[in-house]
Amino acid sequence: MRGPFHALLAAALILIARPALAQRTDEIVLWNGNIITGEVKSLQQGKLKFKTDHAGTIYIEWAFINALTSSSFFDVENEEGVHFYGTLTKAEESRFLMVIGPTGPVVLDMRKVVAIAPIKTTFWNRVDGSLNIGASYTSADNILQYSVEGDATYRQRKYSAKVTLSSIQTRINRKDEPDGETTFRDSLEFVYTRYRKNRYFAAGGLDFTRSSEQGIDLRTELGWAYGRRFKQTNKSNLQAAAGLSVSRETPIGEEPSDHFLSGVLLGEYHFFLYNYPKTDLLIQLGVNPGITDWPRLRVSFNGSIKRELITDFTVNFSVSDNYDSQPAGGEEAANHDFAVVLSVGWIF
């Protein structure tokens, strides 16, 4: 299974935005009155992505922009999860944005605008992602460990599709053990999310997992959940969801198990600051109580923090733990699969 995991990660890495050919006539007015001409690309997580002719693509904190003008058609979302569609122009009052759509103009408080996305754009311009790589080596025990994490998200007005891959490999070649030992912890996940009114959403996911620590050669899990974003601002997001999943496991060296049904409880908190150095904190918690295999309980925790070193390059620290009250490997397998990773990353 190692080959397909890494091949799919490589496929995710080629999703790099290509230059747009549109004429750059959009304007932004900064808090100090300066005007910059270019092309509005998007607003996400409190920063406006703006492409200029002479300075390339720049990112400007939304709080420092007083006015915005563009003749292109955009999807504008506020904190309440309401969407407005149309061109963008200045309102009479500073820090207010007028969206001129098919049904007429609407004036929005820019402090409550959390996302702006172009309606007509190429596939590549809608893809965002990251790649993190870490490695360590100790000569005393001849232990080599490396980690690779990558994700790519394609976002449309009403839905998004995301692929995430995480792989941690450890190779031990002691002098008295010439054959060595390899441990692995791999996860590949596909998630499709459909956005509803009032910040509600429905999500379906397909997940492939391997863990030598818990004796899992392969776990395949198909799930669905319905949830809501309870908080959505230019600095943080808080969301939760609940649903069901169907899984099948293949323990190492054994035949696949029967399918089993589990509940799904998910929570996520995302906090971001774009003053230098840019900081990105993500906490995710998932709980899978067994239904057909009760009282089995699986819990996953992932926490990560990213700090920007230079433009689009980060240093990352992450902690994760996968708990299983009845691991597939039986009594010899561990209940906890814990990992701490320090890596460097690239955001695209």
pLDDT given at position 102: 82
- Which of 58, 89, 120 terminates a domain? The answer is 120
Q: Which domain does 45 fall in, by range?
A: 26-120
97 with 182, same domain?
Answer: no
Mean pLDDT, all residues of the chain: 86
Average pLDDT over residues 94-103: 90
What pLDDT does residue 332 have?
85
CB atoms inside a 10 Å sphere around CB 175: 7
- The tokens describing 344, both together, are 């460097």
* pLDDT at position 175: 64
Find the range with the poorest average confidence among 78-82, 189-193, 210-214, 338-342.
78-82
pLDDT band (50, 70, 90) for residue 289: very high
Higher local confidence (pLDDT), 127 or 267: 267
Judged against a pLDDT cut of 70, whether residue 14 lies above it is answered with no
- Picking from 86, 101, 120, the residue at the C-terminal end of a domain is 120
Is residue 163 situated within a structural domain?
Answer: yes
Q: What are phi and psi of 32, to 5 degrees?
A: -95, 5
Q: What is the pLDDT of residue 198?
A: 85
Answer yes or no: is 151 within a domain. Answer: yes
Q: Give the confidence band of 56 by pLDDT, cuts at 50, 70, 90.
A: confident
Q: Are residues 210 and 261 in the same domain?
A: yes
Q: What is the DSSP letter of 18?
A: P
Question: Could you tell me the pLDDT band of residue 276, with boundaries at 50, 70 and 90?
Answer: low
Task: Identify whether residues 132 and 116 lie together within a single domain.
Answer: no
Is the model more confident about 103 or about 333? 333
Same domain, 239 and 134: yes
Claim to verify: residue 304 and residue 210 sit in the same structural domain = yes
Q: What value does the mean pLDDT take over residues 278-289?
A: 93
Average pLDDT of the residues in 136-153: 84
Cβ–Cβ < 8 Å for 266, 227: yes
The pLDDT of residue 65: 94
**Residue 310: pLDDT over 90:** no
- Tell me, yes or no, whether 111 and 157 share the same domain: no
The enclosing domain of 163 has a CATH number of 2.40.160.40
- Pick the last residue of a domain from 120, 143, 170: 120
Is residue 11 scored above 90 in pLDDT?
no
Asked, for residue 221, whether it belongs to a domain, the answer is yes
Query: Do the Cβ atoms of 26 and 51 come closer than 8 Å?
Result: no
Instruction: State pLDDT tens for residues 247-272.
Output: 999 999 899 989 999 999 999 999 98
Taking the C-alpha atoms of residue 169 and residue 144, their distance in angstroms, rounded to an integer, is 8
Flag whether pLDDT at 19 surpasses 70: no
Number of separate domains in the chain:
2
Query: What pLDDT does 2 receive?
Result: 47
pLDDT given for residue 319 in this prediction: 95
75 and 132 inside one domain:
no
Give the DSSP H or E segment for 13.
Answer: helix 2-13
Greater pLDDT, 8 or 273: 273
For 182-210, how does the pLDDT look when each residue is reduced to its tens digit (9 = 90+)? 889 999 999 999 998 888 999 999 999 99
Say whether both 62 and 180 belong to one domain.
no
Please tell me whether residues 92 and 240 are part of one structural domain.
Answer: no
Among 229, 228, 266, smallest CA distance to 244 is for 266
**pLDDT tier at 80 (50, 70, 90 boundaries)?**
confident
Confidence check: pLDDT of 169 > 80:
yes
In a domain, 20, yes or no: no
Whether residue 1 lies inside any domain: the answer is no
109 occurs within a structural domain: yes
* Spatial distance between the Cα atoms of 125 and 136, rounded to a whole number of angstroms: 35
- Residues 68 and 180 reside in one and the same domain: no
- Please name the residue that has the structure tokens 């004429």: 23
Q: Identify the helix (H) or strand (E) that includes residue 288.
A: strand 279-289
Structure confidence at residue 275 (pLDDT): 63
Q: Which two tokens stand for residue 301?
A: 């925790």
**Range with lowest mean pLDDT among 73-87, 190-204, 234-248:** 73-87
Residue 15 has pLDDT above 50, yes or no: no
Answer yes or no: is 197 within a domain. Answer: yes
* 78 shares its domain with 202: no
The percentage of residues in the chain with a pLDDT greater than 90, rounded to a whole number, is 52
Sequential DSSP letters for 297-320: EEEEEEEEEEEEEETTEEEEEEEE
* pLDDT at residue 12 greater than cutoff 50: no
Question: Do the Cβ atoms of 88 and 74 come closer than 8 Å?
Answer: yes
* Among 73, 48, 74, CA closest to 59: 48
Contacts of 160 (CB under 8 A, 6+ apart): 153, 154, 192, 193, 195
pTM for the full model?
0.76
Question: Are 186 and 302 in the same domain?
Answer: yes
- Residue bearing the bigger pLDDT, 24 or 246: 246
